Homo-oligomer: A and B are copies of this chain.
Amino acid sequence: MIKVMDAIRFETSPERYKHWRLELSGAETTGVARLVMDVKEDQGLGEYVLKQNSYDLGVDIELADAIQRIRFEHPEVRAIVFTSAKDRIFCSGANIYMLGTSSHAFKVNFCKFTNETRLHLEEASAASGIRSIAALNGVAAGGGYELALACDEIYLQEDGNSAVSLPECPLLAVLPGTGGLTRLVDKRKVRRDHADVFCTVAEGIKGKRAKEWRLVDDVIAKSRFDAATSKRAEELAKASPRAQAKGPGLPLAPLEVQRSIGENVGDRIVSQYRYVTLTIDPKKRVAELEVRGPDHEPPKSGDELRKLGNGWWALRAFRELEDALLDLRFNFLEVGLLVVRSRGDGGKVVAHDKALAALAAQDWLANEIALLQRRVLKRVDVTSRSIFTLVDEGSCFAGSVLELALASDRVYMKDDEDHEDAIRLALSPANFGALPMGNGLTRLQSRFLNEPERAEELRGHEAPMTTQEALKAGLVTIAPDAIDWDDEVRVAIEERAAMSPDAMTGMEASLRYGGPETLETKIFGRLSAWQNWIFTRPNATGQKGALTMYGQPERAEFDWRRA
User: For residue A336, which residues in chain B have a CB less than 8 angstroms away from its CB?
Assistant: 560, 562
The 0/1 profile, CB within 8 Å of B marked 1, for residues 517-555 of chain A is: 100001001110111111011011000001000000000
A245 to B477, CA, bound (A): 47
A174 within 8 A of B: yes
Chain A 185-203 near chain B by CB (<8 Å), digits 1 or 0: 1101111111111011000
> A99 within 8 Å of B by Cβ?
no
**Beyond A175-B503, A477-B197, is A181–B511 a contact (Cβ under 8 Å)?**
yes
A384 to B508, CA, bound (A): 26
Could you say which of B448, B514, B533 contacts A533, with CB atoms under 8 Å apart? Answer: B533
**Nearest opposing residue in chain B for A532, CB measure:** B533
Tell me the complex Cα distance, A449–B175, Å. 22
Establish whether residues A384 and B512, one from each chain, have CB atoms under 8 Å apart when the complex forms.
no
Cβ proximity bits A142-155 to B, threshold 8 Å, 1 near / 0 not:
00000000000000
Whether A506 sits at the interface, judged by CB under 8 Å, is yes
Residues of B within 8 A of A181 (CB): 507, 510-511
Q: A277: CB under 8 A from chain B?
A: no
Which B residues are CB-close (under 8 A) to A512? 192
User: Which of A102-110, A289-297, A307-315, A364-372 touches B?
Assistant: A102-110
Given contact pairs A108-B563, A192-B446, A450-B191, A537 touches B534 in the complex (Cβ within 8 A): no
Select the stretch in A76-84, A89-97, A165-173, A318-326 that faces chain B: A165-173
A408 proximity list for chain B (CB < 8 A): 193
Q: Are A563 and B501 in contact (CB under 8 A)?
A: yes
A385 nearest CB neighbor, chain B only: B562
B501 touches A558 (CB 8 A): yes
Instruction: Indicate if the CB atoms of A514 and B186 lie closer than 8 Å.
Output: yes
Known: A507-B169, A533-B502, A537-B536. A517 touches B514 (CB 8 A): no
A529 vs B108: C-alpha distance in the bound complex, in angstroms?
14
Question: A359: which B residues are within 8 A, CB to CB?
Answer: none
Q: Is there an interface contact between A526 and B509, defined as CB atoms closer than 8 Å?
A: yes
CB–CB A195/B511 < 8 A: yes
Q: Is the CB of A109 within 8 A of B448?
A: no
Whether B531 lies near A506 (C-beta < 8 A) is: yes
- Are the C-beta atoms of B532 and A563 separated by less than 8 Å? yes
> In chain A, residues 435-493, which have Cβ atoms closer than 8 Å to a Cβ of chain B?
446-450, 474, 477-478
Contacts of A561 in B (CB 8 A): 103-105, 333-334, 501
* Contact yes or no, A169 B499, CB < 8 A: yes
Q: Can you name the residue of chain B whose Cβ is closest to the Cβ of A496?
A: B200
Q: Are A534 and B502 in contact (CB under 8 A)?
A: yes
* Chain B residues, CB < 8 A from A509: 526, 530
Cβ-closest chain B residue relative to A509: B530
Q: How far is the CA of A529 from the CA of B532 in the complex (A)?
A: 9
Q: CB distance B105 to A502 under 8 Å?
A: no
Inter-chain contacts of A527 with B (CB < 8 A) = 510
**A526 and B499 contact, Cβ closer than 8 Å, known pairs A197-B477, A561-B105:** no
A175 close to B506 (CB less than 8 A): yes
Q: 5 A-B Cβ contacts within 8 A?
A: A384-B563, A503-B534, A506-B534, A516-B517, A532-B533
